[in-house]
Amino acid sequence: MSKKGKNLKYPSKFQNSSRFFLTLFCLSYFCLSANAQSQSKSKSVEKVNSASSSSAEVKSGSLENPKNASNEIDRVIAIVNREVITEQELRARMNIVNQQFLEAKKPPPNKEVLQKEVLERLIDESIMYQEANNFGVRVVDQELDGILANIASQKNESLDQFKSGVEKSGLNWEKYKQSIRRDVVITRFRERSVESKVKVTDAEIDAFINTQIKKPQSNDSVPEQELIDIAQILVPVPTGSSNSEINALKTKAQEIFEQVKNESEFMKFANQLTTKDKSIRAQDLGYRTLDRLPQIFVDATNDVAAGALVPRVIQTGAGFHILKILDRKNSANSSTGSSKSDSIFITQNEVSQIMLLMKQGVNEDDLVRKLRTFRDQIRAKTAKLEDLAKKYSEDPNVVNNKGYIGWVSPGQVPPEIDVALSRLNPGDVSDPFQSEYGWHIVQLINRRQTEITGAQQKEYARANLRQIKLIQATNDWIRELRDNATIELRPPYTMSK
């Protein structure tokens, strides 16, 4: 029963979804700029050279994607090989980025700094797309129709219904199709050029485990600490419960407390309870130092001997806790050389979500209002997340999972989701927030401590090393593409150093 370990962010089964998230990132990210791109994306070099250096009317036409003419006068600010970027396009993208900072309640960077960063991102997109075409990366009409049909199916619509909705929003259907085609082309080119070439060796994995997971510690410098093995029975209090409901749950917890007083095998009794009542949670927290326990647990267990029950029910924001001290020992007395000496424990969250994509012609304020309505309905128990997700969520997996993601560890999901989950108690629903994949609300169903094996440590190391290498390889790849591209910026715009 002896356990010890340390916290670790570990991506497990959710890593299987990484490919989906990568593709979804491109679809959502590039669609953000589709409005700006549709106004004036590319023209031949001859047309660009004839444009005024101070202003130019961006006309329809692209070497790859014909687009409708713009009725506005728009100034060309950059020429990237055979495509142009206009001031109107830059302003539109900056508005989107500023809105993202506003929603995240973070101050945006200096306007000049942000302007350069956004412009260079637009340049990168243009270079990647043109280079993809040079290498023959294509999305044929049949494939594009399948992608659009899949998007429609996620909205529980037929393709005709989806097309009608796009056109009702004021968008040209053919223009929308071409923007999706462009996004998929860039994604496939990056996958072929970078992702497939990133390799992680066994030696690198072993080195990562030894230096990052099993960090050597000097026994001479580490003070002796008490380790407490605590088990608990939790009667959760759902968010939005009335006072009468809370009192009923408190009575229920007190009744369980009276029963467990007479039980010699706490966890056996707890597991029997959870079988009969799915709302009750049973958990062995394992050996932990005091700094890894909630302060209310530390205070409650003070002077409680090993093998004894904490003499009262503890109430927290999560619900009512019945605690038992399974064991107490000093860190110096921990056994060495056992199979558990290298055990690592991670906090996992059981999660469901509703996700809406930021698409061409969609107003972000409307998305946020819609998600707030869903949040309020779930909190008021007038609707269930799975029902709302099945009807409205644009997560491509929602048809099969009704918004249920499952058990995930920190680092498996976008950091914005990790942050949102850290603020929730089981049963809570988050406020709307944005990640690079779209707008979300998440519900924390449950939380647990999980031990991972040596094999899982290797998977964790492999995933982390691959992510580090992928970021570096992508940056190097884009830098190489830029070095081989012809980029001309019109004053006052300049390249970042």
Q: What is the pLDDT of residue 156?
A: 76
Q: What is the pLDDT of residue 460?
A: 76
Q: What is the pLDDT of residue 441?
A: 94
Q: What is the pLDDT of residue 331?
A: 57
Q: What is the pLDDT of residue 214?
A: 59
- The reply to whether 33-197+477-489 and 226-341 are identical in fold is no
> What are φ and ψ of residue 306, in 5° steps?
-60, 135
Class of domain 226-341: alpha beta
Q: Are strands 487-489 and 281-289 parallel, antiparallel or unpaired?
A: unpaired
In this structure, which topology does domain 346-452 adopt according to CATH?
Answer: Chitinase A; domain 3 (3.10.50)
Angstrom distance (rounded) from CA 175 to CA 173: 5
Q: What is the pLDDT of residue 167?
A: 86
Q: At what angle do helices 18-32 and 173-193 cross, to 10 degrees?
A: 130
Domain locations in the chain as residue ranges? 33-197+477-489, 226-341, 346-452
What angle (nearest 5°) sits at the alpha carbon of residue 168, between those of residues 163 and 173?
40
- Say if pTM beats, i.e. exceeds, 0.85: no
DSSP 290-328: GGGS-HHHHHHHTTPPTTPBPSS-EEETTEEEEEEEEEE
Chunked into runs of 10 residues, the chain (497 residues) has average pLDDT values of 37 38 39 37 36 34 37 80 90 79 70 87 91 90 87 81 84 83 88 85 83 52 69 83 87 93 87 83 78 80 88 86 87 43 69 86 85 93 92 80 85 77 88 85 88 75 82 88 91 69
Angstrom distance (rounded) from CA 430 to CA 423: 8
Angstrom distance (rounded) from CA 242 to CA 232: 24
Architecture of domain 33-197+477-489: Orthogonal Bundle (1.10)
